[in-house]
Amino acid sequence: MGSTISKYILISSFVSIILIVNLYIWQNTIIGFVFGLFFLLSQGAILGHLLFPQNSLFFKIFYGLFFLLSGIALIGALIYYFYCLNLFVIALIIILIPIFLSIIVGVIHELPLSPSSQKTPNLIVKKRGVLKFSFSPELVILILAFLFLITVCFSILFSSQTMEAIASPWQVIPTSFFIIYFFVSLALIGITFYSPQDYQNQGLILFLISLYVLLSVSVALIIYQLGYGFDLFIHQATEKVIAERGFIAPKPFYYLGQYSLVVFFSKLFAVPVKWPDKLIVPIFTSLWLPFTIYWGLSQNLLKEKKYALLSPLIFLILPFSVFIVTTPQNLANFYSLIIIFSSLPLLVSETKSFRTQINAERNNNAEPRGIWPLSYLIFLSLVTLAIHPLAGIPVFIFLVLLILLKIKTLSQILKKIIFWEVITLFSIIIPLVFIIFSSISSQFHITLNTNFGRNFFYSLNIFTLRGGYWNYFRSLYDLIYLYGFNTNLLFLILSLIGIIILSLKNKIRLFKVYILTFLILIINYILLKGFISFSSLIEYERYAFIGRILEIGLYFLTPFFLYAFYIFSKRLWGLSSIFKFAFMVCLSLALTASLYLSYPRNDRFEAGHNFNVSSSDIKAVHSIENDAAGDYIVLANQSVSAAAIREFGFKKYYGEHFYYPIPTGGVLYSFYLKMTEGKPEKEKMRNITQEVMDLVPVKTVYFVINEYWHNSSKIIQEAKKTTNIWTSIDDGRVFVFK
Does residue 591 have a pLDDT over 80?
yes
Terminal C-alpha separation, the chain:
74
What is the chain's mean pLDDT, rounded? 87
H-run or E-run covering 45: helix 29-51
pLDDT at 469 over 80: no
Query: Looking at residues 372-387, what average pLDDT do you find?
Result: 96
Q: Is the pLDDT of residue 548 over 80?
A: yes
Looking at residues 1-10, what average pLDDT do you find?
Answer: 72
What mean pLDDT is predicted for residues 146-157? 98
Distance between CA 366 and CA 77 in Å, rounded? 39
Q: Would you state the pLDDT for residue 53? A: 87
User: Quick check: is 465 in a domain?
Assistant: no
Query: Which range (354-358, 400-404, 694-698) has the least confidence?
Result: 354-358
The whole-number pLDDT of residue 208 equals 96
Could you tell me what percent of the chain has a pLDDT over 70?
Answer: 86
- Beta carbons within 8 Å of 528's beta carbon, 6+ residues apart: 430, 431, 434, 546, 549
Does pLDDT of 124 surpass 60?
Answer: no
What's the total number of domains in the chain?
2
Cβ–Cβ < 8 Å for 492, 463: yes
pTM (predicted TM-score): 0.93
Tell me the β-bridge partners of 704: 736
Reported as a pLDDT band with limits 50, 70 and 90, residue 572 is: confident
Which stretch of 22-31, 461-470, 677-686 has the lowest confidence by average pLDDT? 461-470
Assess whether pLDDT exceeds 50 at residue 368: no
- Give me the pLDDT at residue 405, please: 84
Question: Considering only 399-403, 436-440, 507-511, 613-617, which range has the smallest mean pLDDT?
Answer: 436-440
Cβ-Cβ contacts under 8 Å for 503 (sequence gap 6 or more)? none
DSSP letters, 179-224, are HHHHHHHHHHHHHHHHS--SHHHHHHHHHHHHHHHHHHH-HHHHHB
Instruction: Please check whether residue 266 lies inside any domain of the structure.
Output: no
195: confidence class by pLDDT, cuts 50, 70, 90: confident
Side chain identity at 663, as an amino acid letter?
Answer: P
Cβ pair 188, 575 in contact under 8 A: no
End residue of a domain, out of 93, 127, 161: 127
601 three-class SS? coil
In this structure, the number of other CB atoms found within 10 A of the CB of residue 590 comes to 20
pLDDT at 198 over 70: no
CA distance 703 to 154: 39
Check residue 281 and give its pLDDT: 98
∠ CA 31-34-38, nearest 5°, is 130
Q: 239, exposed or middle or buried, with CB in 10 Å at 0-12, 13-18, 19+? A: buried
* C-beta separation of 719 from 685 below 8 A: yes
Q: Which long-range contacts (CB under 8 A, 24 or more apart) does 270-275 make?
A: 270/22, 270/23, 270/26, 270/27, 270/28, 270/29, 270/31, 270/32, 270/33, 271/29, 271/32, 271/33, 272/240, 273/236, 273/239, 273/240, 273/243, 274/227, 274/236, 274/240
The answer to whether 215 touches 149, Cβ cutoff 8 Å, is: no
Residues 201-253: pLDDT tens digits? 788 899 999 999 999 999 999 999 999 989 999 999 999 999 999 999 888 88
User: CA-to-CA distance for 2 and 11, rounded, in angstroms?
Assistant: 14
Last residue of a domain, one of 97, 127, 157: 127
Q: Which pLDDT band, with edges at 50, 70 and 90, does 648 fall under? A: very high
Residue 442: its pLDDT value, please?
62
Does 672 fall in a domain?
yes
Residue 549 inside a domain? The answer is no
Which has the higher per-residue pLDDT, 520 or 308? 520
| 117 belongs to a structural domain | yes
pLDDT for 683 beyond 50: yes
**Weakest mean pLDDT among 106-110, 457-461, 531-535:** 457-461
Cα distances (angstroms) measured from residue 417 to each of 200, 353, 412, 425, 517: 49, 31, 9, 12, 18
- CA dist 60 and 56 (Å) reads 6
Average pLDDT over residues 440-467: 62
Is the pLDDT assigned to residue 298 strictly greater than 50? yes
> Which ranges constitute the DSSP H helices of 427-473?
429-440, 452-459
Grouping H, G, I as helix, E, B as strand and the rest as coil, residue 18 is helix
pLDDT at 275: 97
| Residues 719/728, Cβ–Cβ less than 8 Å | no
Domain termination residue (choose one: 127, 156, 176) = 127
Neighbours of 440 (CB within 10 A): 7
Give the pairing of strands 701-706 and 734-737: antiparallel
pLDDT given for residue 447 in this prediction: 72
User: Angle at which helices 429-440 and 389-406 pack, to 10 degrees?
Assistant: 140
Which amino acid type is present at position 652?
K
> Residue 609 domain-assigned?
no
Distances (CA, A) of 521 to 63, 189, 426, 429, 556: 29, 34, 8, 9, 10
* Reported confidence tier of residue 681, pLDDT bands at 50, 70, 90: confident
Q: Considering only 208-212, 555-559, 691-695, which range has the smallest mean pLDDT?
A: 691-695
Q: Which domain holds residue 693?
A: 615-737
Please tell me what DSSP assigns to residue 24: I
Handedness of CA 521, 527, 532, 537 (dihedral sign): positive
d(CA 707, CA 274): 28
Taking only the tens place, the pLDDT of each residue in 37-65 is 999 999 999 999 999 988 888 899 999 99
Residue 571 counted as domain residue: no
CA distance 83 to 77: 10
pLDDT of 366 strictly over 60: no
**Mean predicted confidence (pLDDT) in 622-643:** 93
pLDDT exceeds cutoff 50 at 121 = no
Q: What is the pLDDT of residue 115?
A: 41
